[in-house]
A and B are shown apart, each in its own frame.
Chain A
């Protein structure tokens, strides 16, 4: 077994602020993902990484940066927070791409004032 942790659990920012979300996994998985969850829109992929130092854009990468510092960690940066933005950001990991089960973290809830 393993676990994925995300920090912080709640993040409150100001408009225009740069905000960083962190994710750690101890599954020893190669692939990690960042998703954004909005009500009625399911999970939308922001960035993913297939190995340490790799970075791939998802469908929603504009306005975000990401960094896979080491195999166990994957961070996401909101480059300029948008006023009244509210969303949950989910980190996930899997052995590889394709038909591999994804394991999700508990999420970071972002509120921008």
Chain B
């Protein structure tokens, strides 16, 4: 089954708006959560990440909120801009580097910001 799920395949927002991308996960051992951004014909790059010892991490216009009891995390983007148009992939996994601790990615959300 899909361990990490993104509920919206696509989202459209007007420039300047606030948007929220959601991600749910199943494994309660996960303690590392990340959002990757992918422009068309480009590779994914890490946008922002958070460990489970905090429930929020902010970086400029981007904030990750973590709800560990609900096995849910989200990416909030404020003052959205046309250059935010991209595919956003959530990822979750164990923080520790050993064993079989690989990341699992969600299906991606295609975000379009309309000028």
Interface residue ranges, A against B (CB under 8 Å): 33, 35, 40-45, 48, 56, 58, 90, 95-102, 104-107
Contact = CB atoms under 8 A, between A and B. Distances in A.
Contacts, number: 66
Nearest to B5: A42
A99 B44 contact: no
Contact of B102 (A40, A48, A107): A48
Interface residues of B, number: 30
B44 A104 contact: yes
B interface majority secondary structure? loop
B104 to A, nearest CB: 8
B7 interface: no
Given A97-B98, A102-B46, A40 B93 contact: no
> Which 3 A-B pairs give the minimum distances between C-beta atoms?
A99-B32, A104-B43, A96-B97
A97 B99 contact: yes
Nearest to A6: B43
